[in-house]
Amino acid sequence: MSFSRSVIIRVTNEAIWFNDTMSVFLIDTNLPVGEFRFVEGRSVFWEVDMISYHKDTSNLTIRIINYRPADVDEFLNQRPKAEVKFLSFTEIYWPAFNADLSFFKKTAFTSLLTEKMPLAGTESTFNTVHIKADIAFNKVRFGTGFVAFDYKFLWSGEKTEVKILNGHILPEFEFIKTYFSKHFNSRTFQVLLVVTKSGRTTEKIVATSVQIDQIKDVAIETMKFIRMERLKKLPTYIKEINKSLFTANDIFDPFDKNFLGTYQMTQKELFDQVMKWDDIRNKKQLEYLSGYLHESSEKIRFTLTPKFGFLFVAHGERMIHYIWEMLNTNATYIWGFDKGIMDDKKQLIKMEEAISFIRNNGRDSYVRNVSPYDNILFRRIMHKGARSQLVDHFPRWRHEVNEAIV
């Protein structure tokens, strides 16, 4: 084999290839077989210098000088002039080498490593290296269409800003980046850096990350989750609003404008997210009211005190009914308004007054002191046996609710 030039090799988990027909089994190299695996989703080519060849043992010693050569066409044309039975690697540059590994034990490579950057030939001043890095989510910055972080390359005295492009990313994600680490179950994400450099000057950086690519699929769900978590703790801006009934926009508009951009959460999304909360005792009742009785053309309104709850609207033959169901309480409250006697705006005013009274004085006090108007029907339906593990009392509750819709 000629030693007057470098050659291109292709690396797999079975062998090292010099062309499409000649190879050396991986077990016939000085690499620690069993302590690592090469990536399998792409082809791995390296440009190597042939350092020495021992004719008696057919042992070829090589040094990798380019871990991502731009031109590999010569690989198919290479024709060895001597048989190679054993391949010895020397001076492996770990930051570039491990970018092509899917699994490794670094300690197994200790005797082969060097801290010197490889040079991709003497005729070119440019060198391309691959680096695999783990970056903490709390160290990144979110912008319009990218994630950015600072990284210090070994050849540079200062940190360099690195950007990973993703058209789905918004600056507002800056406020929820800690939740991405929860989604991926890791405080860090992995980045593959393909760096073109000249001497100590970094000319070009191409950065990719599987996790950052996936943010487009989880960002909206993450924002929904954060909104719901805030509701559990009753945000300050909600406490300062002097009202008892809220639409989805009432709840989230101030939060969205200040933190999470223009994404709107619909009333159905809000309901569905609440249904995912743990230990909702009256989930059957809520799902029935939402899915069967609530008029689809009407807005669902929400109460935050004394407990989080929903105010549904059901249209009967004679009346329009407002049905209030709070989480994990033992009763359903139903108000009925004769159609045509009072418009929707006035009905909501009456509902605001009733729920405000309950918020300030308690539910039992309201039931004792309620003075029904001639055109308003009020009924409280208890969840009998709500905690029973033996008898399903839901059918009886459903019958009583349907009986109240007139």
pTM (2 decimals)? 0.48
Query: Which of 306, 354, 347 has its CA nearest to residue 329?
Result: 306
Of 369, 348, 371, 373, nearest to 360 (Cα)? 369
pLDDT tops 70 at residue 157:
yes
pLDDT value at residue 259: 45
Share of the chain above pLDDT 90, in %: 32
* Residue 179 pLDDT exceeds 90: no
* Average pLDDT of the segment spanning 170-199: 81
pLDDT of 221 > 80? The answer is: no
Written as one letter, the residue type at 361 is N
Give per-residue pLDDT as tens, 35-62: 999 988 778 899 999 988 898 999 999 9
pLDDT tops 70 at residue 234: no
Can you give the pLDDT at residue 370? 77
Which residues, listed in sequence order, are joined to residue 38 by a DSSP beta bridge?
Answer: 101
Predicted pLDDT of residue 362: 86
Question: Does residue 308 or residue 388 have the better pLDDT?
Answer: 308
Instruction: Report, in angstroms and rounded to the nearest whole number, the Rg of the chain calculated over CA atoms.
Output: 34
Q: Look at residue 69 and tell me whether its pLDDT is greater than 90.
A: no
Span 120-145, pLDDT tens digits: 544 445 677 788 889 999 999 988 88
pLDDT at 4: 46
Burial (CB < 10 A; 0-12, 13-18, 19+), residue 27, is exposed
Instruction: Tell which wins on pLDDT, 260 or 160.
Output: 160
Confidence at residue 80, expressed as pLDDT on a 0 to 100 scale: 81
75-79, 166-170, 218-222: the lowest-pLDDT one? 218-222
Residue range 194-205: average pLDDT? Answer: 84
On the question of pLDDT at 386 being above 80, the answer is no
pLDDT reported for residue 261? 45
Q: What is the mean pLDDT of the chain?
A: 82
Give the model's pLDDT for residue 305. Answer: 75
For 345-355, the pLDDT digits (tens) are 899 999 998 88
- CA atoms of 167 and 160, how far apart (whole Å): 22
pLDDT in tens, 356-380: 888 888 888 888 887 765 668 899 9
2-25: per-residue pLDDT in tens? 344 789 999 999 999 998 889 999
pLDDT band at 170 (very low <50, low <70, confident <90, very high): confident
- Are the CB atoms for 329 and 307 separated by under 8 Å? yes
Q: Which of 346, 347, 344, 325 is nearest to 334 (CA)?
A: 325
- CA–CA separation, 223 and 220 (whole Å): 5
Cα(355)–Cα(269) distance, rounded to whole angstroms?
A: 24
Amino acid, res. 249:
N
**Residue in the block written with tokens 């729920």:** 355
pLDDT at 388: 54
